Amino acid sequence: MGSAEFLTQLPAALATLATLAVLAAAVFGRATHADRDIDIDIDIGIQGLQTAERELAAQIEDLLPQTQCGQCGHPGCRPYARAVAAGEPFNKCPPGGHATIAAIADLLGTPPLALDPEHGREGPKLVAYIREAECIGCTKCLPACPVDAILGAPRQMHTVIAAECTGCDLCVEPCPVDCIEMIPAPVRSALMARDQRPPVAA
């Protein structure tokens, strides 16, 4: 193979690892036994890529707020993390908001995106609250809760364990009497006055 021919093939060759490897083998005339090596190399390469993608998904999942709300269009935070690792835009998580987007952008080494308003708006953390006087004890909200944070039994009043509620909103819709509302989450640890930041030097 002449060098001119090699150059014309260069862009295509760069497109995939496999092509490049085959080409290199051809150039150096090691086709016969090198083919097998290349196959093995490619196998390891693809497996490595899959492993890398899985690891990336796990790292992304660690950055997600674990609200399990499905607002991103995926049934839970892990599937969303996998989709992002596979190339889906990472601006679909309203509970995580800008902080989560920035963290994922940081991880992926790409500029951050604006939150996609299709999937909701960023807001304060909420928790579900059941107006107990109105609850009829239908148990319909119980299976909707992704983290089993609603306590109740048939014809018994239900209540939300606020400390475990992720604020995903999924219990609001199944309620036939609309007695569940989302209220601002109680502040876990108020910053003390002495923990306020001093001004920065000009």
What is the contact surface with another protein in residues (CB under 8 A)? 61, 64-68, 70-71, 73, 76-77, 94, 117-121, 123, 143, 145-149, 164, 166, 169, 173, 188-202
Using the minimum distance from each CB to another protein, give the nearer residue, 130 or 146.
Answer: 146
Using the minimum distance from each CB to another protein, give the nearer residue, 22 or 71.
Answer: 71
Q: How far is the CB of 141 from another protein (least distance, A)?
A: 13
Q: Count the alpha carbons within 13 Å of 200 in the hemisphere toward its beta carbon.
A: 0
Q: Contact 170/126 with Cβ under 8 angstroms?
A: no
Q: How far is the CB of 200 from another protein (least distance, A)?
A: 6
Q: Which three-class secondary structure state does DSSP give residue 61?
A: helix
Q: Which three-class secondary structure state does DSSP give residue 55?
A: helix
Q: How far is the CB of 167 from another protein (least distance, A)?
A: 10
Distance CA 67, CA 95 (A): 7
Distance CA 149, CA 167 (A): 10
Distance CA 150, CA 170 (A): 12
Q: Contact 21/41 with Cβ under 8 angstroms?
A: yes
Using the minimum distance from each CB to another protein, give the nearer residue, 21 or 180.
Answer: 180
Q: How far is the CB of 51 from another protein (least distance, A)?
A: 21
Using the minimum distance from each CB to another protein, give the nearer residue, 68 or 91.
Answer: 68
Distance CA 183, CA 185 (A): 6
Q: How far is the CB of 13 from another protein (least distance, A)?
A: 36
Using the minimum distance from each CB to another protein, give the nearer residue, 45 or 120.
Answer: 120
